Each structure stands twice: as C-alpha cells, then as structure tokens.
Amino acid sequence: MELLKNEFIKFIKERKSIRSFIYKKIDKETILSVIECGRWAPSGNNSQPWRVCIVIHPTVKRMLSELTKYGGIIEDAYVNLVIFLDLERGYDRVKDIQAIGAFMQNLLLGVHAIENIGAVWIGEILSKKDEVNEIFKFPIDKFELMGVIAIGLADEAREKAHEKERERRPLDEFIDWY
C-alpha cells in the first residue's frame, strides 16, 4: 500500500502543463474518459455545477483563439474543453467555484494518465468570458466561463526546447502550525 501511495504522489508531482502540440486525432473514447475523471470531482451538495463544450471544429477553435493571447495553443490542440459554471446547478458561489477547480484538476490528471497526451489550463481567456458565451449561445446569467483546457499530442521536442526547471515554493513559506 505504501508503494501505491508513493507512486500516486509521484504521479501528481509529475503532471505539468503542456503548451506545444502535434496535431493528431484523439479518439472520442479517450476524450470521454478524461471527462469521466472530471465527473468524479467533489462538489458541495453533489451539485456538479459544470458544463463542458468539447471543441474540435477548426472554425470554433479559431473563434476561441481570437479571444486570447494563447490562441496558438488553442488552435494547435486537437481538442479544447471549454468549462463553464452552470449557475442554475450551483448553490453557493465559493463552493461552486472550488468544485470547478477540482473538476478541472481531475481533467488535467486524467490527461496526464494517458501516454503522450498533454494539456494546459488557459485562464487568461476569462477576460473575454462574455464573448465566449456568445460563441456557444450561452446566456451570461446562466453560464459563467471558468477556463479552457487545451489537449493534444505533446510535441516533446518543442516542450524540451522551452523546458525550464519547475519550481515550487518551500512548504515553510506558506504553512503555519498551531
């Protein structure tokens, strides 16, 4: 059991954002298995306040890409998961947003579990959330954009060329014992 725990902790620590993709089809079953991972995220009152638009069509990807400085990532990825908070399913704003964060992290871990596939969470597009809602014809009083997860076959060569040492703050910098 201890070995399994250590492997799981290692798995979490090895997950990283992938921003360079080789355009190659990812089958529907793989995409659904990633979303299945998200589905098991915790949410207050089990409200599951998420809504996902799965974007593969080049025209829709282009429309999204024009709303962010990370548009190249969106266009290079095979699929983009556009994540919304379904305001009618939610019951407490803070808890609902926490649930969406857990949902998106589960998606990222699900992608990490698939060999050669990578993903990155794009939050900068939130500055254009109303325009994103327009693309999907979602009323802004019912759906709030939470982010986009771009997923694709990792371009290992480009990733290595831009690789820098991953750093994390030391634990004693942000914890207090009482």
Rounded to whole angstroms, the Cα distance separating 61 from 76 reads: 9
Residue scoring higher pLDDT (116 or 30): 30
pLDDT value of position 113: 96
pLDDT category at 161 given cuts 50, 70, 90 is confident
Bridge partner list, 118: 152
Q: What is the pLDDT of residues 93-122, one digit of tens each?
A: 999 999 999 999 999 999 999 988 999 999
Domains belonging to the chain, first-starting first, are 17-158 (3.40.109.10)
Euclidean distance between CA atoms 73 and 78, whole angstroms: 10
Read off the pLDDT band of 7 (50, 70, 90). Answer: very high
E strands, the chain, where?
21-22, 50-55, 79-86, 117-122, 143-154
